[in-house]
Amino acid sequence: MKKAMRDIFYNTRSKYFLIVNNFLAALTLVSVLSIILNTVAALDSYNTIFITIEYAATLFFTIEYIGRIIANQKKPLTYIFSFFGIIDLLSIVPSYMGLFNLTYLKSARMFRILRFLRTLRLIKLTKKGNIKSGTLLEEEDLLHGYKLRIYIFSLLTSVVIAGSLIFIAEWPREQFANIPLSMIWSAKVILGGVPQIVPETLFGELVTIMTRFTGLLLFGLLINVVGSGLQKLLFGDTKSKK
């Protein structure tokens, strides 16, 4: 059992690895999209579909969480308290809160959006699987593509999470009536714009500060990605010339 779990979740050469991880990636994206659309009042008629997607995703993510613990049987705490272990746990716990009707904790269910961070694991695994054998030039091309994917996923993740947090903080204000509207606000803040809508709550102000700081970090990452690309375009592969 332990070996099978390790092959499925950690062995990039296993025939089951890509199948399982691609399925979990697609399920993650569908689940996050469902959470976002579920906040739009005009789509209330699809609520049953959204709930079905939520608990189906929660079931599969729970199985995955248990499977990863089994795969790390000798040192399960290493996974449980790792970054991705915590993210995996936070992505399923809020759904169980709703299942047991913990009304006073229902606002925490919005933190299901953190499961979008699960996609960062896929980039990490892609790097392990692709950036290996080959010429130095090929490896550098793959590494540059890896950095670009990191930036794009980080940007999307930041917009979604910041939009969800400001939605929690400022709802039911009309300007933050749902997550898609809130994501427009977060995108403006992250990309350096000055949004016309100012948060009214203390939590909203804290989210704004956090979002602006995240925008600065992403800008630094973008400079690194674009800079390395321009250097290669203008001066060629300096390492291969040595």
Tell me: the pLDDT tens digits for 157-167? 889 889 988 99
Residue 36 reports pLDDT greater than 60: yes
Q: Cα–Cα distance between 112 and 73 in angstroms, integer? A: 27
- Which has more pLDDT, 38 or 1? 38
5 with 71: CB under 8 angstroms?
yes
Give the chain's mean pLDDT: 80
User: Greater confidence, 195 or 64?
Assistant: 64
Whether residue 147 contacts residue 175, with contact meaning beta carbons closer than 8 Å, is answered with no
Which of 72, 68, 110 has its CA nearest to residue 91?
A: 110
pLDDT in the model for residue 190: 92
Residue 104 pLDDT greater than 50, yes or no? no
Tell me the per-residue pLDDT of 91-100, one tens digit each, with 9 for 90 and over.
888 888 776 6
Residues 6+ apart with CB under 8 A from 195: 185, 188, 189
Six token digits for residue 19: 């199948």
> Helix axis angle, 47-71 relative to 2-9, nearest 10°?
120
Residue 239 reports pLDDT greater than 90: no
**Domains of the chain as residue ranges with CATH:** 1-119 (1.20.120.350), 131-242 (1.10.287.70)
Q: Tell me: pLDDT of 145 over 80.
A: no
For the ranges 51-60, 218-227, 232-241, the maximum mean pLDDT occurs at: 51-60
The predicted-structure confidence for 165-192, as pLDDT tens digits, reads as follows 899 888 888 888 899 999 999 999 998 8
Its pTM stands at 0.78
State residue 224's pLDDT score. Answer: 82
